Chains A and B, each alone.
Chain A
Amino acid sequence: MAGHDLNATPRLATKAMLKHDNVREVELLLLPERVVLLNKSGAAILGLCDGSRTVRQLVDQLEHDFEAADLESDILSFLDDASGRGWVVVT
């Protein structure tokens, strides 16, 4: 449950690559032998997982970008799931 630590720093796993697909007009996460179709919020969260900010800072950034409050629990559960799937490494 590393994602629940607001001071932890998430970054995309080495094997994972985010891509905006210009042909299909979708956001994707590319993995070995696998392509994951992301929704807008998933792409936004993963796009900020670059090892440069804490979960707290990531939440603040997205709440600012989406002009929304109370995103914390959704983001935490997404990060939890993403780290469980090996897409994100939280340190």
Chain B
Amino acid sequence: MNGTPQPFGLLAEVTHRCPLHCVYCSNPLALLDRADELATEDWLRVIGQAAELGVLQVHLSGGEPLVRGDLETLVAECRRLGLYTNLITSGLGLTESRAESLVAAGLNSAQLSIQGDAAEATDLIAASKQFGKKEAAARIIRDAGLPLNMNVVLHRLNLARLDAIIDVCARWDAERLELANAQYYGWALNNRELLMPSKTQLDQAVGVYERRKAELAERMEILWILPDYYEPYPKPCMGGWAQTALTVAPDGVVYPCPVAAEITTMEFASVRDHDLDWIWAKSPAFEAFRGTEWMPDPCRSCSRKELDFGGCRCQAFALTGDAGRTDPVCQHSPDHHLVQDALVRANQEDGGADRRLVYRRSDSPGV
């Protein structure tokens, strides 16, 4: 492979169709239709090529992947090739018989999302009345013999409920819980003013996380995905551009990360036109920010450049319009004021879940 890294993970976004309408949705602003989606045989080819590339784990995601009737076929092919499969689901549409057929096909693991600890949270964040279906899905996943991993996106409107959220996950018998502080791309960036927590809120939530992590150490692994706006240095996004994983979108376009479709100044290739191997190793988009050669200062001369790889390209593009700049989260970034300004506003507002913020935001220019 001549020094080209080998990817470990494939995020297979098999559809953008989804029953939820989350305010922080990480899918592109323009969603793909069913008619745009790859056919079963395309996915089988992609899975085979991914295995040859060195992929070990396939995360079946969306949208809601369960809307596709051919998931079992894809899972079976992964199993045949010795790939570990993980279903990333809202839980809506997961029946006992669907879970059984997926397990029979070889599904290894499932990750279920919730928006909060109760029905009101699902309604507020995802405009869905289906919290009860999520509880049923958790039971179905456990009864099918799968490990239950859960994921909750944290933000201003639910951080105060963290204790109760963790209670729900423990009650549903999750063995792993990802507490993912919201990241502000795409749809979430539109709602950033509403979602960004204050420093006080975050500090309290960190206290809850640390206490519960210690309490539940024997039965549930709890992970805290850092709220990067409050960090002095950017996250080492994806372990560096095109280093460890790749995402195939519903239409077959391949990205180095799940939100890179938003970088509208770059051209990404499709598995309809190219082999995955060429896209990974040779395509201009994957080569563009691989390694450290592309870096401008302050990254170029920074001792941390192999630690955080200049941060997130998608965030640099979302905030500055240039994917090649230092992630504005970094305190050394010339664009750091963009992040600081958002934090100042988040810490001026009182009252936590003040929905007036939505209306004010929608009245302001540039939304």
Contacts and interface: CB of A to CB of B under 8 A. Distances in A.
A15 interface: yes
A19 to B, nearest CB: 5
Nearest to A21: B56
A32 B56 contact: no
Given A32-B147, A35-B56, A24 B6 contact: yes
B108 A33 contact: no
A12 to B, nearest CB: 11
Given A30-B84, A32-B147, A32-B149, A24 B108 contact: no
Given A30-B108, A32-B109, A32-B111, A14 B145 contact: yes
A68 B70 CA distance: 49
Contact of A30 (B53, B57, B111, B176): B57
A15 B146 contact: yes
B54 A24 contact: yes
A62 B109 CA distance: 30
Contacts of B53: 23
A19 B57 CA distance: 11
Given A15-B108, A23-B6, A28 B56 contact: yes
A15 B109 contact: yes
Interface residues of A, number: 16
A76 to B, nearest CB: 21
A86 interface: yes
Contacts of A13: 147
A71 B108 CA distance: 31
Interface in B52-73: 52-54, 56-57
Given A15-B146, A86-B175, A21 B108 contact: no
A17 interface: yes
A21 B6 CA distance: 12
Nearest to B84: A30
Contacts of A31: 84
Interface of A: 13-15, 17, 19-21, 23-24, 28, 30-33, 35, 86
13 contacts: A14-B145, A15-B109, A17-B84, A19-B56, A23-B6, A24-B6, A24-B54, A28-B56, A30-B108, A32-B109, A33-B149, A35-B56, A86-B175
